Amino acid sequence: MPPILHLVRHGEGFHNTAWHGEGICDPLLTPHGKAQCADVCKNFPYHDKIELLMASPMKRAIQTCQLSFAPVVARGLKIMLMPLAQESSTEHMDTGSDVSEIKEMFGDLVDEHRIVSLFPYWNTNCGRFDSDPEVMMERAQMLRLFIRDREEKEVVLVSHGTFAHALTGNFTSEGVQTTRMWENCEWRSYTFDEGEGAKIIETEESVARRPGLELPN
């Protein structure tokens, strides 16, 4: 049976608050972003059920996973760095760091082998990581299939606002987001459609918990 997926947008990063923040390379979380993670950690009710932690290899996503799911990390689970979950743009804020820098900051907390072995070009913003909307949708489907076929029963994935739209299907081939932007540290829970595209379906509990998805006027 496919797992339940808890999808999380990273906490507030310095690029979210700075003037022309898109020029900050691979930004970290702000103090407020860390406080947002602390709120998730306090209120997330499924820490004891999580069997796999995954995060985009960008620092703000790794930090969010580390802080928001500290009880899971304390059980000894490493954070699987998943390049397929990174944001998609050519801006400095959405360009990841070298794996050596990530390891220097996070050490054995992270499992980086998918960067080293499978996607060594993940932070070049080209090929599978191009910013073209259709390429991003293909990458989202590839990631959904990967998660759907895992043996773990409950999975956390920390990703990014725009890519979350592609992952959930709220994104057109022209790159238009059809629902509102995810809030920093917003988390939603999904089950999988076992069809060919491995679409995900938000749970009733998750829908009841979050604000509406309508686009602002």
- Rounded Cα gap, residues 165 and 180, in angstroms: 9
pLDDT band at 88; cut points 50, 70, 90: confident
Q: What is the mean pLDDT of residues 130-153?
A: 95
Give the structural domain span for 23. Answer: 4-209
Question: Rounded to 5 degrees, what angle do the CA atoms 11, 6, 113 make?
Answer: 80
Residue 51 pLDDT: 98
| Residue that wins the pLDDT comparison between 212 and 38 | 38
- Domain of 114, CATH number, reads 3.40.50.1240
Q: Give the chain's mean pLDDT.
A: 95
pLDDT band at 160; cut points 50, 70, 90: very high
User: Is residue 190 assigned to a domain?
Assistant: yes
| Beta strands across the sheet bearing 110-111 | 110-111, 79-81, 52-55, 154-159, 4-9, 187-192, 200-202
Residue 21, pLDDT > 90, answer no
pLDDT band at 197; cut points 50, 70, 90: confident
User: Is residue 17 assigned to a domain?
Assistant: yes
User: Is residue 216 assigned to a domain?
Assistant: no
What are the distances in angstroms from CA 161 to CA 80, 110, 134, 165?
19, 22, 17, 7
Q: What is the mean pLDDT of residues 85-89?
A: 92
User: Is residue 174 assigned to a domain?
Assistant: yes
Q: What percent of the chain lies above the pLDDT cut of 90?
A: 89
Number of domains in the chain: 1
Please say whether the dihedral angle defined by the alpha carbons of residues 53, 200, 206 and 173, taken in this order, is positive or negative.
Answer: positive
User: Is residue 135 assigned to a domain?
Assistant: yes
CB atoms within 10 A of CB 40: 19
User: Is residue 188 assigned to a domain?
Assistant: yes
pLDDT band at 87; cut points 50, 70, 90: very high
What are the distances in angstroms from CA 81 to CA 8, 37, 133, 173, 193?
14, 18, 22, 26, 24
User: Is residue 87 assigned to a domain?
Assistant: yes
The pTM (predicted TM-score) of the whole model is: 0.96
Residue 55 pLDDT: 98
Cβ(37)–Cβ(106) under 8 Å? no
Q: Which value, to the nearest 10 degrees, does the dihedral of the CA atoms of residues 75, 62, 86, 152 take?
A: 0
User: Is residue 215 assigned to a domain?
Assistant: no
Q: Which value, to the nearest 10 degrees, does the dihedral of the CA atoms of residues 47, 53, 54, 55 take?
A: 60
